[in-house]
Structure 1
């Protein structure tokens, strides 16, 4: 799942490519991608057509595009496991990362993808004899335009939700879920192989602390569905001392606390392992046994690793994470903990250990990150 550095890389790309552009029309190719939008696939195109994208904002793993200058609504995006926002222009081909650019952790090989189903391109319209009625469009896997017309999209199968084989980029047109056409001819695509991500138009509500909603925000507001999300380690408005006190008041394990998006946002399994390794803390260390200094050092470590990952364009293990121009990040080459089970610790040489944790795993050094450290 994309974490803070990957989502911030996407936000920065959107800020450079689409701000100030007006949405000309919208095509929903898969209703699941807008399942959390109150009006569903029939309503979203009309809510976006004619609106200007005035700001690109991120808090943690949530990303939104402020609509118009009055900043009352935003297009909220959560990338889920495999979501991508790609900017494509008529005169340029989409750039995909070459296989050799990708670095992969030692994970079991995924099942192969089935061959792509033949059919029309993602932007082509259905012929008259295969057009769906307005009533059937509510449950169909077709694409809805602002006028209610339909475009072709093959129904996803259980097999198509599987991760692509390492080094094999997913086909962006095959997994295109929502397409926005902008007034300068560019198209903003939401591509999602696993369809766990989603888009919706949401009201902006005031932030609890009266400060800007997130990175790139011009106003102290954020989308209502993201109001519970805490500030992240890169947010200049994060009260670091207060955060450390809240962490120490929790009666839980430190890694579990790092993954709690209501305490600190943007950290997932990759960067939790990396931050804990840098701070020399065992993933199961009790938060109420941490000193204030140790808690602040953990926050510093989280910020440092995320800034380094951001400078590298994020972490890509396969083609499921790319920036808005289709390029993958390369921070995977610099990981100190995640995915390095059995390899020597970069500090002391002890083999790194991997343990199950919350349905996932933790990778740590049993010597540098002893449970008793605090």
Structure 2
């Protein structure tokens, strides 16, 4: 699965290349890719046509593009200090968003230039025709394509609801609004409004193994299997330790390590083991070259030299150093 750094890399690309553009037409080539839009593909296309992509926002592995109307009729003659009231040159606060989840292989690819009309990916599922392309893309064609080989990803138009905290709901926007299906997702460790002390207390209330808690998106979002193993190695904590028996300082050390490893991966564009994991320009990340334990079974630990081990975990694998990360007693 693409993890938080991969999704943040995509969000950043969307912020630079499509925010401010207007959706003029939508083509849905595979209905299943908009299955979470309950009113169906025709309504999905209709709800997007004529809307402006106002921002690119992320919480955990969920992405959304708030939608505003291209033209705001009835705007008052003088500007208002209230951001919810339309003013000349400013659209009303959005109440809907285009929500995206990449699933296992989803990609959001931006295409522009004279040859864009002739380019069509073999796994193209949805195409948004955009107007108002940045100069770097040219004006002959400007598309946002949703490509998904394994078809676990999905797009939908969702109502925005208030975040319970009243704070900005995701990275990329100051609005305390997020799509309804994302309301149960916790903040991630790269969110400037995430309270790590409170997250650590929440972790310690869970009566299960620390790695299972790290993967629980309702506790802390965005941490997947790869970065969980890397964070636990950095913190010197075995994934089978019981969260409820850990000290606050030890949990904070794990959370800090997770934030560090994901920040480093973000600089390199994410961890790309698969050619399917690419950013909006179709480029893969290469952080896998810097992984310390994940996928390194039988190789020496880069800290102590012991042989890295692998064990089964929730139909997946956990990698750890038996010397640096002492297993808990049964």
TM-score range, shorter chain: 0.7 to 0.9
Deviations 1:134-190 (A, max 9, x none): xxxxxxxxxxxxxxxxxxxxxxxxxxxxxxxxxxxxxxx110000001013310000
**Moved segments of 4+, more than 2 Å:** 90-94
Moved more, 5-14 or 68-77: 68-77
2:226 is matched with which residue: 245, 248, 270?
270
* Aligned equivalent of 1:112: none
Deviations 1:244-290 (A, max 9, x none): 11111110000000000000000111111111110111111100111
State the shift of 1:218 in Å: 2.4
Partner of 1:196: helix, strand, or coil? Answer: coil
* Aligned equivalent of 1:6: 6
* Aligned equivalent of 1:76: 99
Unpaired segments ≥5 residues, structure 2: 69-90, 133-140
Cα pair 1:55 1:218 within 8 Å, conserved: no
Q: What is the TM-score when the length of structure 1 is the normalising length?
A: 0.78
Which whole-Å CA distance do the structure 2 matches of 1:20 and 1:363 have between them?
43
* Aligned equivalent of 1:33: 33
Deviations 1:321-368 (A, max 9, x none): 000001000101101111111111110111110011011110000111
Question: Which structure would you say has the larger RCO, counting Cα contacts within 8 Å and 6 or more residues apart?
Answer: 1
* Aligned equivalent of 2:127: 179
Cα pair 1:337 1:352 within 8 Å, conserved: yes
State the shift of 1:40 in Å: 1.4
Q: What is the TM-score when the length of structure 2 is the normalising length?
A: 0.88
Partner of 1:179: helix, strand, or coil? Answer: strand
* Aligned equivalent of 2:74: none
2:322 is matched with which residue: 331, 355, 366?
366
Deviations 1:185-236 (A, max 9, x none): 3100000000000000000000011111110022001000000000001111
* Aligned equivalent of 1:301: 257
Which whole-Å CA distance do the structure 2 matches of 1:349 and 1:332 have between them?
19
Which whole-Å CA distance do the structure 1 matches of 2:285 and 2:243 have between them?
32
Partner of 1:218: helix, strand, or coil? Answer: coil
Count of matched residue pairs: 298
Cα pair 2:116 2:142 within 8 Å, conserved: no
Which whole-Å CA distance do the structure 2 matches of 1:46 and 1:372 have between them?
56
* Aligned equivalent of 1:151: none
Please say if 1:357 is aligned against 2:313.
yes
Cα pair 1:315 1:332 within 8 Å, conserved: yes
Partner of 1:200: helix, strand, or coil? Answer: strand
